[in-house]
Amino acid sequence: MAHILDERQKQVSIAGANERTIDCNKASLAGSVSQRACVFCGSRVVLYPITDALHLIHGPIGCAAYTWDIRGSLSSGPELHRLSFSTDLQERDVIFGGEKKLLESASELIDKHTPKAAFLYSTCIVGVIGDDVERVCRQLEKEKGIPVIAVQAPGFQGSKKDGYKVACEAIFKLVGTKNKPYTPAKSINILGDFNLAGELWILLEYYKKMGVHVNATITGDGRVDDICNAHNAALNVVQCSGSMNYLAKLMKDEYNIPSMRVSYFGIEDMSDALYDVARFFKDDDMMEKARQLVKEEFTKLIPQLAWYKERLTGKKAAIYVGGAFKAISLVKALRLIGVQTVIVGSQTGTTEDYELIKQLCDEGTIIVDDSNPVELSHFVKEKQADIFIGGVKERPIAHKIGLGFCDHNHERKEPLAGYEGMINFAKEIYATAMSPVWKFTK
């Protein structure tokens, strides 16, 4: 594989061809043009869906523009999260310091929008000039009487994954600061669902049918007060483990709240997520309701999926997503509709994730950690994939090569989680892979 840089060879593996453990969880190779985003972006995407908080980006306007309305996270109430505020640092601020500008901007915005909390993000240049954002936050907290949290996320300090950790630390500052009058005993927090295209609302419906109370959603359709009361839940149910495992760990250490890792993509993993929660509460009635729900959904879904499977069998897919746990669900979901996965990669997978992927995939599947456009383009051509499933940065790769693309990331407009999501996923894969337009591309 001549197109893989020497230093990256160990981050690529072939299922069935070697027993080598994939090298992962490391900084991106300088100059490799990693698909990963910066620390600031990582923190911003996690905190973004907290709908009633103010998000002020302390840096040049580009950082704010880059992440403006970055997720399709829907809100059932406030929409303050969709506005992107920036201190728009200029040369003069870089030379003389931007603290005063930050203080004045945040103060004015808090007065104008009366948020429940404010997040002030440090970007690369703030890390260089050394503005004391923590001090500004302390002063504003005193003056305004709301939590004002510094998100220390200069982009150059690592990768998007480090940004997730910074975001978890910021959220954790809110947890445990308020108690609601009553939190039911059988209550969970949903961590790592970002309510893209309203997916969270589908899940809430399932849990409601099972008799599970959802205490806080972190961060999809998130509310500051719910997060403050998150320490009163009995269990943290963690999806997108890459971004939220750390928060679950912090809550376990401080409040002894156990957590479980789930995925809501594909019908097997979706069902396991519901059963695992019922099993945790050791509640027969809850388990019976979960079984009933799964049975009803399967009865509707299986004939529909069979239709797609008949038509899609033989098609090949490439997957490159942020978290490896999602990639695992996607491999299973694609198999269910007859599509073979020939490439699977992620930005933030762990050794365990990649081992699971290796066991799950067919022989010859390329497994890759922290890839780049050159590698991905070569892999896709080599394996003759028919469809690419990824995020915003993978879309141009697919379209330049001339193959179908399915957005399974921030910007998607169709819910792909849950049982409804599985049908939407099948529909989208079918419409994209079978489109006649691909006959006209080279």
Binding site for ligand SF4 (CB under 6 A): 38, 40-41, 59, 63, 66, 123-124, 155
Considering beta carbons, is residue 123 or 346 the nearer one to ligand SF4? 123
Considering beta carbons, is residue 23 or 134 the nearer one to ligand SF4? 134
Q: Which tokens go with 419?
A: 């049982």
Considering beta carbons, is residue 38 or 417 the nearer one to ligand SF4? 38
CA distance 405 to 398: 6
Measure CA 56 to chain center: 21
Name the residue number minimizing CB distance to ligand SF4.
155
Considering beta carbons, is residue 43 or 346 the nearer one to ligand SF4? 43
SS3 400: helix
Q: Which tokens go with 7?
A: 């230093």
Amino acid at 114: T
Q: Smallest distance from the beta carbon of 55 to ligand SF4, in angstroms?
A: 14
334 Cβ contact partners less than 8 Å away, ≥ 6 residues apart? 317, 319, 340, 341, 429
CB atoms within 10 A of CB 248: 24
Q: Smallest distance from the beta carbon of 59 to ligand SF4, in angstroms?
A: 6
β-bridge partners, 318: 343, 388
Considering beta carbons, is residue 166 or 380 the nearer one to ligand SF4? 166
Taking CB atoms within 8 Å and a gap of at least 24, the contacts of 112-115 are 113/54, 113/80, 115/52, 115/53, 115/54, 115/80, 115/146, 115/224
Considering beta carbons, is residue 123 or 409 the nearer one to ligand SF4? 123
Q: Smallest distance from the beta carbon of 41 to ligand SF4, in angstroms?
A: 6
Sheet with 85-86, side-by-side order of all strands: 85-86, 53-58, 117-122, 148-152
Q: Smallest distance from the beta carbon of 44 to ligand SF4, in angstroms?
A: 9
Contact (Cβ atoms closer than 8 angstroms) between residue 77 and residue 201: no
Q: Smallest distance from the beta carbon of 154 to ligand SF4, in angstroms?
A: 6
- How large is the greatest C-alpha to C-alpha distance in the chain, in angstroms? 67
Q: Smallest distance from the beta carbon of 58 to ligand SF4, in angstroms?
A: 10
Considering beta carbons, is residue 17 or 128 the nearer one to ligand SF4? 128
Q: Smallest distance from the beta carbon of 123 to ligand SF4, in angstroms?
A: 4
Considering beta carbons, is residue 60 or 421 the nearer one to ligand SF4? 60
Q: Smallest distance from the beta carbon of 373 to ligand SF4, in angstroms?
A: 18
Amino acid at 93: D
CA distance 392 to 390: 7
